[in-house]
Amino acid sequence: MRMLFAALFACCATSAFAQSAFTLYNTDNSDLPDNKVNCLYTDAAENIWIGTDGGLVQVTPGGVWTVYTTADGLPDNSIRSIFVDEDGTIWAGTYLSGLVSYNGTEWTVYDPTNSGLPDYHVKAIAKDQNDTMWIGTSWGLAKWDGDEAWTAYTDENSDILVPHVNSLYIDSNNIVYAGTLNGGLAVYQEGVFSIYWTGNANIGDNTVLSIDEDAYNNKWLATSFGGLTVMTEDYEFLRFTPLTSDIVDWSVDAVRIDHTQEGIIGMSTFGLHIFDNTNWEHYTTLNSDLPDDFINALTIDASNHIWIGTESAGVAVFDKDFVSVQNLTGEGIAVFPNPTSERVLVNGVHAGSVLSVYSITGTMLESQIVPEGFIWLSVSDWPQGTYYLSVEENGFTRTGLLQVVH
């Protein structure tokens, strides 16, 4: 039964999403040089920058792709971080060759042999309001004035617990936030570090892989094994985990706040979550055209589309508005509220169609004929979890997902 249901759902998904909310770019259908995407960045000119294991890619708002590799002057094709200055200078952090800049004509490489950079592996890049560069490496946080003055902060000369820096964010008050590997969050303000880790704060985990900020000055922290942590302006920590929310896994690799202030988080094994400040939506390879459930990076473009960098399937661009239009026009199944604990309205169906409910393992739980263009389902007695809804009419099947929480 499980195999038959999986085949049925795959067929239904193809029919229901003939026009997909996801646009996919990989080595087969685009100029993407490698399907492993490590980082993404949107610059002030709304260019999208993609860091892969095969080089650096620029995608213009008009859809023109430019690929930079070692053949063009890059010292290393494995790009791990990206930053673009207001003047258009490109900065890229590499896996083995340090920091590189490109001004449109010339590449310049900075590494431990010719600069104050403490390590060759550059994982994060940012610039503060004083035009000071901050570079997170695998062995220290570097501060550089752009000329000769370099300072490297490690656990030996600062309060940083672990000198391995995964992520950087600088807020409007010029406060620097550095997410570390097993050392919590290091906050630098006016020459002083404050450290927040599981020993003194309610942060989810000591490994912080990604940082972003919403309109209310809350800092969103993607943690490796502690789910999502939101740090408020008053330095209170709110945790979103499978025990306290509808997030389905503890491992969060990337976080971004979009233009409508919805939180987007990418998981390492369970796809994409979107939080509208009330409900969580969950997209995986099972219920959407997301090509890979392992998400390394996220960025938002000018149209509020979500660019998703995956571990092995290239880039997916997700249009949230497409999903809303599909539901409103009846091309899919509209389910509201979702998640729910008591009852749910299934809309966008026709009288006489057959509605079936399946468990996540493919077991049919119930099936009934829809008497009108909608139907209410009582779910108060259902175990908490994810359910598949299938509507069959005139040989055509549409599907949807329902999340039950108690």
Please state which CATH class domain 327-404 belongs to: mainly beta
Residue 126 pLDDT greater than 70, yes or no: yes
How far is the C-alpha of 151 from the C-alpha of 142, rounded, in Å? Answer: 6
Residue 20: pLDDT band (50, 70, 90) is confident
pTM of the shown model: 0.77
pLDDT at res. 58: 97
Q: Map out the domains of the chain as residue ranges.
A: 2-323, 327-404
Average pLDDT over residues 328-334: 51
Tokens for 73?
């002057």
pLDDT at res. 388: 81
Average pLDDT over residues 23-30: 96
Q: Are 171 and 178 in contact (CB under 8 A)?
A: no
pLDDT at res. 21: 86
Average pLDDT over residues 287-298: 94
Average pLDDT in the chain: 89
pLDDT at res. 323: 55
pLDDT digit string, tens, across residues 199-237: 999 999 999 999 999 999 999 999 999 999 999 999 999
Of 259, 323, 331, nearest to 290 (Cα)? 323
Percent of the chain beyond pLDDT 90? 69
How far is the C-alpha of 378 from the C-alpha of 342, rounded, in Å? Answer: 6
Residue 326 pLDDT greater than 60, yes or no: no
pLDDT at res. 277: 79
Of 315, 167, 162, nearest to 252 (Cα)? 167
How far is the C-alpha of 279 from the C-alpha of 271, rounded, in Å? Answer: 16
Tell me the CATH number of domain 2-323, given options 2.130.10.10, 3.40.30.10, 1.20.1440.230, 1.10.10.10: 2.130.10.10
Q: Are 109 and 98 in contact (CB under 8 A)?
A: yes
pLDDT at res. 406: 82
How far is the C-alpha of 295 from the C-alpha of 39, rounded, in Å? Answer: 10
Topology match between the domains 2-323 and 327-404: no
Positive or negative: CA dihedral 157, 162, 168, 169: negative
- Structure-token match 């620029």, residue found: 58
Q: Are 217 and 231 in contact (CB under 8 A)?
A: no
Residue 282 pLDDT greater than 70, yes or no: yes
pLDDT at res. 329: 36
Which helix (H) or strand (E) segment is 387 a member of?
strand 385-393
Task: Report helix, strand or coil for 155.
Answer: coil
Exposed/middle/buried for 279, CB within 10 Å: 0-12, 13-18, 19+?
middle
How far is the C-alpha of 227 from the C-alpha of 335, rounded, in Å? Answer: 26
